[in-house]
Amino acid sequence: MIRVMLPAHLRTVACVGDEVNIDVDGAVTQNSVLDALEEAYPMLRGTVRDHATNARRPFIRFFACGEDVSHELPDSPLPDAVANGQEPFMIIGAIAGGAQAQPGFFRADLRAIGD
Amino acid sequence: MTNVRLLVGTHKGAFVLTSDEKRVDWNVSGPHFAGWEIYHLKGSPADPNRLYASQSSGWFGQMIQRSDDGGKTWNAVGNEFAYDGVPGTHQWYDGTQHPWEFKRVWHLEPSLTDPDTVYAGVEDAALFRSTDGGMTWRELSGLRCHDTGPQWQPGAGGMCLHTIIADPTNPDRIFIAISAAGAFRTDDGGFTFKPINHGLHSEYIPNPTADVGHCVHKIAMHRSRPNALFMQKHWDVMRTDDAGESWYEVSGNLPTDFGFAIDVHAHEPETVYVVPITSDSYHYPPDGKLRVYRSRTGGNEWEPLTKGLPQSDCYVNVLRDAMGVDDVESCGVYFGTTGGQVYASPDSGDTWTPIVRDLPSVFSVEVQTLP
């Protein structure tokens, strides 16, 4: 059993609490955990990673055992403590409030939904 | 007893405002999808309890929500908006070519006849259709793949398809508008589109009378006169009487012809409403006075409507999808502001009252008249 911790907005979307427990067949990796998560909660498809490419969304980070594993290869094994359920796999929304991180992508709404 | 339901999309959630036909006392429900940007939500004309909502976030991307009970409960439906084939490029702010990239859904337009069919206008500009209640989406790529696509460019808010109007007399005809590409029309159910921008004049683009490149902000139609369309362009209020084949200006005596929202009276096809905004540099009303302007002559002659609206120190904006009308005999008119107010007029604009004053910034207001 793998423990996955979701950011607050995705807990609301999936109608779950802080953590969800999922079963993963085979190697425990970012991809296998997210595959199982999306299988169990299909409404989360597209919210953590891109539908077509499975690439992590730009403002999402992954943490495991206190380490940022966002840039690890998605098919690399996650730490044993995550694989055996001692530690959660954490999906985190990057703290970027107020930043114009990507013009035209982020906070474009505040530019008046218009011109 | 007739009831009126307003569907309000805001920067931080959706709100549902309901009243009886007196439209004096209102019930406020929400926020739904708290914390998310709700660019637009709209009900099906064929089944008023079927609602669709566009929910988005810079972190978590796009979601589509559907309600089958008038907004009491919602379910997430399909959110995969994949461009058909390999998307090409469009013009970027600096004039270079830039790849088409999906960002969000700006506008949802349910079919006039089928609750399970709904159109989505997205950024970067494209038109999608679902025929299964929003579960799956397919692009009508005849629009994006138009020969002029590489000339389209984003407005300051992005390259968005924000207007979708179905012709109630011709199921194959749909009007759409894109900022900043212009207006387009299909006469074959969405397979092909053609630009309908003849008569538009935009001094801020290299060729002011080009086929495409015009920053159309919103188009409105009265259902009894589908060939007559009214347009709020970046600058200029325009009109066509031949389904977009040719446009002419009807700004007339408006204090400024810049603005975003435009709509038509429910029972008087020559009565039109706009909210003049000072300019593209100042996204607030002239002189700090929030005034709706009404023309009862199909344009050119406009009267300010001020009773109940702030006439000093008001510096809010009214965005393109943030105005609507009801079908009650006296025709209610509604609009929301970036300051979080939603104003209602139960008498065609003569008098106004705020329903709510302190919502998050209002992106959109849609109106349902319920039997």
On the question of pLDDT at A107 being above 50, the answer is: no
| Average pLDDT taken over every residue of chain A | 86
C-alpha closest to that of B222 among B176, B269, B177: B269
Amino acid at B362: V
The pTM for the full model equals: 0.94
**CB contact (8 A) between residue B58 and residue A59:** yes
| CA–CA min distance A11, chain B (Å) | 12
Chain A residue with Cα closest to B12: A109
Please list the residues that pair with A62 across neighbouring strands. A91
pLDDT higher than 60, residue A106: no
How far lies B55's CA from each of A18, B10, B38, B65, B105, in Å?
22, 10, 5, 7, 8
CA B209 to chain centre: 24
Question: Across all residues in chain B, what is the average pLDDT?
Answer: 97
Tell me what pLDDT residue A97 has. Answer: 55
Q: Is A51 on the interface with B (CB under 8 A)?
A: yes
Spell out the per-residue pLDDT of chain B, length 371, in tens.
899 999 999 999 999 999 999 999 999 999 999 999 999 999 999 999 999 999 999 999 999 999 999 999 999 999 999 999 999 999 999 999 999 999 999 999 999 999 999 999 999 999 999 999 999 999 999 999 999 999 999 988 899 999 999 999 999 999 999 999 999 999 999 999 999 999 999 998 999 999 999 999 999 999 999 999 999 999 999 999 999 999 999 999 999 999 999 999 999 999 999 999 999 999 999 999 999 999 999 999 999 999 999 999 999 999 999 999 999 999 999 999 999 999 999 999 999 999 999 999 999 999 999 99
- Of A59, A108, A113, Cβ closest to residue B319: A113
* pLDDT higher than 80, residue A96: no
- Joined together, the tokens standing for residue B274 give 């706009």
Give the residue among B190, B210, B192, B191 at the shortest CA–CA distance from B200: B210
Radius of gyration of the CA atoms of chain B, in A = 19
> Residues in chain B whose beta carbon is closer than 8 A to a beta carbon of chain A?
11, 33-37, 39, 57-63, 76, 79-80, 82, 103, 106, 154-158, 160, 179-180, 215, 217, 234, 260, 280, 283, 317, 319-321, 338, 361, 363
User: Rounded to the nearest 5°, which phi and psi values hold at B340?
Assistant: 90, 10
State the pLDDT at residue B273. 99
Put simply, the chain A residues between 29 and 48 with a CB less than 8 A from any chain B CB are 43, 45-48
Residue A100 has pLDDT above 60, yes or no: no
| Fold exhibited by the domain A2-111 | Ubiquitin-like (UB roll) (3.10.20)
Candidate from A47, A52, A94 with C-beta closest to B82: A52
The two tokens of residue B312 are: 């000093």
Domain boundaries, chain A: 2-111
ipTM of the complex: 0.89
pLDDT digits (tens, 9 = 90+) for B276-303: 999 999 999 999 999 999 999 999 999 9
Question: What is the 8-class DSSP label of residue A48?
Answer: S
| CB within 8 Å: B157 and A48 | no
Mutate to test the interface with A, among B59, B65, B81, B363 (most CBs of A within 10 A): B59
B217 contacts: CB under 8 Å, gap ≥ 6: A114, A115, B162, B179, B231, B232, B233, B234, B259, B260, B262, B320
Distances (CA, A) of B79 to A59, B23, B65, B133, B207: 18, 35, 9, 12, 38
Identify the bridge partners of residue B293 per DSSP, sorted by sequence position: B274, B304
DSSP letters for A5-38: EPPHHHHHHHT--SEEEE---SS-BHHHHHHHHH
**Cβ atoms within 10 Å of A1's Cβ, excluding its own:** 9
- For residue A112, name the pLDDT band (cuts at 50, 70, 90): very low
**In this model, does residue A110 exceed pLDDT 50?**
no
* Cβ–Cβ gap B280/A115 under 8 Å: yes
A106 touches chain B (CB under 8 A): yes
Rounded Cα distance between B30 and B87, Å, is 38
* Structure confidence at residue A102 as a pLDDT band (50, 70, 90): very low
pLDDT band for position A94 (50/70/90)? confident
* Nearest-neighbour CA in chain A from B56: distance (Å): 10
